[in-house]
Amino acid sequence: MKKLFIACWLLLTGISGWSQKIFTPQELQADFTVIRQALEEAHPGLYRFQTKEQADKQFTAIGKQLKKGMSAYAFYKLVNPLIADIGDGHVKFHPAGKPDDPYAFFGNGYLPLQLYFKDGDAFVLRTYGSKELLPAGTRILSINGEDISHITARLFRNIYADGAVQSAKYAALNSDFAGYYGAFTGPAGHFTIGYKEAAGKRGKVVVPAVSVSEIRSATPTEPPYTLSFPSTDVALLRIAVFMEQEGMPAFPAFLDSTFRLIKEKQVQSLIIDLRNNEGGTDRLGQQLLSYIARAPFRYYEKLTVAGIGPYSFATYATFPAEMEYLKQFVKKEGDEYLFTYSEGLGVINPANNAFAGNVYILQNGRSFSVTAEFAAIAKDSRRAVFIGEESGGTMQGNTSGGFAMVDLPHTHLGLDVPLLSYYMRLQHPFQANKGVPADHVITPAVTDILQHRDPVLELALRLAGNIKQTTAD
């Protein structure tokens, strides 16, 4: 009977036989050795936000816990905090073929609520499925007896983000709290929720779990870049992603026509909305910056790699096809391996028809990678007023580029190691592990979202309407 119950539970939660297979300590140690080799030999930012001593201590501590057999899922949960502590939002550790998927391990057993976090508190945005279980706007105090602040801290230790950027981790929970909670707590058939109503009344309710298919819904597609004019003197440039799309004008052509039109209309203020823009192609960020630059600029200070091999883990890895060709552009200087092939290392001149008026940049915790690079140089050159949250990417750069795609030999978990560290060319001091700071910090309240209000854009429009407003000092 007990075996039958376990089998039924595994079936209901969608736990695969692979993730429940028990691997021997020798197999786990072999996989962990490959993880360590890949990170130490190929990740150029392994010690960017932590010391070698701190990393070594974690490797040793985890190695000592691999003295008994465990499943791939248990191994993943044990190792994942070490990966997260690198402070790299691009690195990926995941079940095979499922990077960036917090729902990868289970098909069912998830919390049926989408939550929204502000100032450390969690609120219900909506219920997954057809029946409302708690009204939108209800504050969540606990789940299965665990205080929401403890849950948040526990999940933060497992979410990949650049440096110590908190906004990026909150953004991840706002998008996929159910997935992260399920991945690092485990699936359940139901959940006991402690809550507080908007009127102040406290209570508890038991809610049933939902499946991945009930959580996931089609996301409306947004064009990668658009231009509008909220008023005669104000242009709004929305960049949803720094990538070109079939059927859309190429980005350089779009920028050229956009800034010609802005000049023709004698626009005084430009708002650039980069919220939820998680990056894309490096050169597109550089091209956009050239249209608001007031003087020639350099984008990157340097680009580094961890080395040029050979790699002891290569048997288990796939590398970018162009990697051997690009090794000719790696030059060793002292203890660093510099990658010298990038247009962003040279001087970039302002574009023809570059905008000379006031610029306002909107950003949040999902303004990441290429987006944060663009924002960093705009911030450092004091070219714009920033509104919203701290960016999701760090002010001083990131580690991304191509990846070494590692398939662990026994558990077959995937480890995707970024191979190129980017360092921005900054003229002013900024904290290395923090994002691009906002001049006007605004995190929308849950009521703003439920009422479809946009206080970030509203403030930008008010500031842009005042032509005396200048860029940040």
Query: pLDDT at position 4, please?
Result: 39
Residue 473 belongs to some domain of the structure: no
Domain match, 168 and 87 both: no
Half-sphere exposure of residue 192, counting CA atoms within 13 Å on the CB side? 6
Residue the block writes with tokens 């905008």: 355
The C-alpha atoms of residue 163 and residue 431 are separated, in whole angstroms, by: 10
Using alpha carbons only, what angle is made at residue 337 by residues 334 and 342, rounded to the nearest 5 degrees? 130
**419 in Cβ contact with 320 (< 8 Å):** yes
Q: Can you tell me the mean pLDDT for 6-35? A: 74
In a domain, 391, yes or no: yes
Look at residue 314 and tell me if it is in a domain. yes
pLDDT at 221: 85
pLDDT higher for 69 or 6?
Answer: 69
Q: Is residue 36 part of a domain?
A: yes
Give the β-pairing of 440-441 and 385-388.
parallel
Domain residues for the domain of 165 are: 113-215
What average pLDDT does this structure show over 370-388? 98
Residue 470 predicted with pLDDT over 50: no
Q: DSSP letter at 140?
A: E
Residues 259 and 407 in one domain: yes
Percent of all residues in the chain with a pLDDT value above 90, rounded to a whole number: 91
Domain end point (choices 184, 215, 246): 215
Are residues 283 and 252 in contact, defined by beta-carbon separation less than 8 angstroms?
A: no
Nearest Cα neighbor of 50 from 154, 152, 162, 155 is 162
> For residue 219, is pLDDT > 80?
no
Indicate if 259 and 387 belong to the same structural domain. yes
Q: Which of 189, 215, 241 is the last residue of a domain?
A: 215
Same domain, residue pair 267 and 406:
yes
Structural domains counted in the chain: 3
Same domain, 163 and 48: no
Identify whether residues 293 and 154 lie together within a single domain. Answer: no
263 and 412 belong to one structural domain? yes
Note whether residue 56 is domain-resident: yes
CA atoms of 446 and 448, how far apart (whole Å) = 5
What is the structure's pLDDT at 131?
86
The span from the CA of 75 to the CA of 95, in Å, is 11
Averaged confidence pLDDT in the chain: 94
**Looking at the domain assignment, is residue 6 inside a domain?**
no
- SS3 for 405? strand
- 469, pLDDT greater than 60: no
User: Which spans in 68-194 are helix H?
Assistant: 72-84, 148-156, 166-185
pTM: 0.93
In this predicted structure, what is the pLDDT of residue 14?
54
Fill in the DSSP letter of residue 331: E
CATH number of the domain that 293 lies in? 3.90.226.10
Which band of pLDDT confidence, cut at 50, 70 and 90, is reported for residue 465? confident
* One domain for residues 127 and 201: yes
Domain co-membership, 415 together with 453: yes
Q: Taking 80 as the threshold, does the pLDDT of residue 6 lie above it? A: no
| DSSP-assigned beta bridge partners for residue 122 | 117, 140
Q: Residue range 337-360: average pLDDT? A: 96
In the predicted model, is pLDDT for residue 2 greater than 50? no
**Residues 66-103: tens digit of each pLDDT:** 999 999 999 999 999 999 999 999 999 999 999 999 99
In this structure, the chain runs to a length of 473
Q: Does the pLDDT at position 371 exceed 70?
A: yes
Instruction: With respect to residue 2, please indicate whether it lies within any of the assigned structural domains.
Output: no
CATH number at 160 reads 2.30.42.10
Query: In the predicted model, what is the mean pLDDT of residues 289-314?
Result: 97
Taking only the tens place, the pLDDT of each residue in 392-442 is 999 999 999 999 999 999 999 999 999 999 999 999 999 999 999 999 999
Is 11 within the bounds of a domain?
no
In single-letter form, the type of residue at position 333 comes to E
Work out the angle at residue 412's Cα, subtended by the Cα atoms of residues 409 and 406, and round it to the nearest 5 degrees.
75
pLDDT at 12 over 70: no
